[in-house]
Amino acid sequence: MIKKWVITGALAFGLLVSAPVSGFAAMGDHTLRPGVWDNDVYELQGKLKAMGYYDFAVTTGYYGPVTKQAVTSYQKAKGLSVDGIAGPQTFNSIQNNIQKKTMTVASTAYTASCDGCSGTTYGGTNLKEIPYAKVVAVDPSVIPLGSVVYVPGYGYAVADDTGGGIKGNEIDIFMKNYSDAVNWGRKNVNITIIN
């Protein structure tokens, strides 16, 4: 059932070319390649986006053509072996080339499936069509739109949304399910902004 949902949802955006494969090791502990559906791919996409290589609006967790192109471009730019596959050499290089800034924010969560919700982020991403996207709403004067943010307990996300109630050091985390948003509640978290 989950594979069918994943394939149907992602095909709408031209992201999949074959059924996804899952993996569970930490990023860098295994090789990520086209066809993988994995939490580590969110991290890979987030870090590549922060460095300007991954040009899709949000992270999706699927290693499709957009991610392969981003990895290939990064490998070429850094003088690595170019194969479009993210292995230890690519991971080490990425880790050595990213910059991080940490801050404490008040966090809440939201969903796209509420009455009156358009489901479209400020950046134009339709979260009803990509419910597995990792997105946070921010105050752009504190966290610039398009920034990649690591949120403990959520993962790597893109600051692709804003909200009238989001002011200063606050973020609102997109959750696919209403119950997940309610369970998140309101709490302070130490986030990392990847530059």
Q: Mean pLDDT, the chain, as a whole number? A: 85
Average pLDDT over residues 167-191: 94
CA dist., res. 55 & res. 73, Å (int):
11
Average confidence (pLDDT) over 87-108: 93
Higher pLDDT, 3 or 104: 104
pLDDT value for 27: 58
Between 93 and 117, name the one with better pLDDT.
93
**Which tens digits make up the pLDDT trace of 164-175?**
889 999 999 999
Closest CA to 104 of 182, 195, 193: 193
- What is d(CA 99, CA 142) in angstroms, rounded to the nearest whole number? 17
pLDDT of 119 = 87
- Alpha-carbon distance of 26 to 31, in angstroms, equals 10
Of the two residues 92 and 9, the one the predictor is more confident about is 92
Helices (H) and strands (E) counted in the chain, each on its own, are 5, 8
Domains of the chain: 2-97 (1.10.101.10), 100-194 (2.40.40.10)
Look at the pTM and tell me if it is higher than 0.85. no
